[in-house]
Amino acid sequence: MNIPLSRPSINQDDIDAVLAVLQTPTLSIGPKVRAFEAAVAAYTGVAHAVAVNSGTSGLHICLAASGIGAGDEVITSPFSFVASANCAIYQGATPVFADIEPDTLNIDPCEIEKKITDRTRAIVPVDVFGQPANIERISEIARKHDLVVVQDACEAIGAERNGQRVGSNGTGVQAAVFAFYPNKQMTTGEGGIVVTDDVDYATALRSFANQGRDDAGTWMNHVRLGYNYRLDEMSAALGLSQIARLDEMLEKRCQVAGWYAERLDGIDGVTVPYVAPETTRMSWFVYVIRLDERIDRTRLMADLETAGIPSRPYFVPIHLQPYYRECFGYQEGDFPITERIAQTTLAIPFFSDMSVEQVEYVCEQVQQQIRI
Ligand SMILES: *Cc1c(COP(=O)(O)O)cnc(C)c1O
């Protein structure tokens, strides 16, 4: 049996929605983008949403619209996808890492406080694997030190912490960013979106994403250094169709995660994902197990691959990426909790339409191939 690591859930409505756009002359800057923005804003419980062509672009323009620049420091997690830190570098700022909590794998608020200097301007907490970061504590720290919070919620659309939806009004964040690459909970192909309650900020974001045009979007009037980060109409139509059944897809993912937990929990050397009591709704993005430190992960991955099961170490810490080592001099030992965990994590196949038979097959193979 060959099982993909991830696979988007695309139905006939999705296909029809994209084809319908192609039968119109408006392939960019049109009604589908506006409708998609309204749908995501309503889903999240915020006043404004600005669609962009990737989650990374969304993070970048948030820092741009917050006035982050050279000499500034932006605190984020080393246990994340590289975009969480790259967005600071794009603005000429310096990413500063704070180590994580060993159970939720999210940035540890106590570690954030230790990293604050008089140059710190922003915090970019990440909701790792779809579990919300401790936003109450992070917002409190931000208020105390007058910092901006831009939430990297690229893995967490629909997640809730203490009953509050990630990115929503009341969580104390300036903005949150969702991403729609095909392995995410919902997809637009490439794509992302920024949600915020601040109307002036939303206006600035629109300008940054649209070549720095003025507030009216005047064609040949560029008031700031902008980018072309626009989402096109086909992608927006797909997003609109996908968000209509996002809750259904999240429920299916929750069911798949449940099947996995049931079958993997008893296997010696395997730890299933931790869900904190504060996480009142998990938005399952990937399924990442932790292996006993004595297990040879590389060999396990090779054996699973032979059985038709792809798997990936997830994440490889940002500070240990070659570019970061080279530019900032990071080395092993700098973030011990992140490194210890990253050495034992393994993402196994996970997607909305995964069948119980597929889950069973993966679990059987994991059980058979594991050697401590
Ligand atoms: C997916 C993701 C992003 C954005 O990715 P894009 O491919 O640019 O859409 C950013 N941060 C995290 C943590 C992600 O998982």
pLDDT digits (tens, 9 = 90+) for 218-274: 888 999 999 999 999 999 999 999 999 999 999 999 999 999 999 999 899 999 999
Under-50 pLDDT residues of the chain: none
At 91 the pLDDT is: 98
Report how far ligand 1's centroid is from the alpha carbon of 12 (Å).
Answer: 26
For residue 293, count other CB atoms closer than 10 A to its CB: 11
Nearest CA to 241 among 17, 9, 7, 8? 17
| 188 C-beta closer than 6 A to ligand 1 | no
- Cα–Cα–Cα angle for 184, 189, 193, rounded to 5 degrees: 70
| Minimal-distance CA residue to ligand 1 atom 5 | 55
Nearest CA to 341 among 105, 158, 123? 105
- Residue 28 dihedral angles phi and psi, to the nearest 5°: -150, 160
- Three-class secondary structure of residue 50 per DSSP: strand
At 116 the pLDDT is: 98
| Minimal-distance CA residue to ligand 1 atom 6 | 55
At 371 the pLDDT is: 83
Nearest CA to 190 among 232, 150, 156, 153? 232
| 181 C-beta closer than 6 A to ligand 1 | yes
| 133 C-beta closer than 6 A to ligand 1 | no
CA distances from 253 to 27, 72, 141, 159, 305 (A): 32, 39, 33, 12, 23
CA distances from 31 to 10, 19, 110, 195, 208 (A): 22, 15, 45, 18, 20
At 232 the pLDDT is: 98
Q: Is the pTM of this model over 0.95?
A: yes
> Which residue, chain included where needed, has tokens 């002036």?
200
Q: Which two tokens stand for residue 20?
A: 């319908």
At 215 the pLDDT is: 84
What is the four-CA torsion angle of 357, 358, 361, 367, rounded to 10 degrees? -120
At 69 the pLDDT is: 98
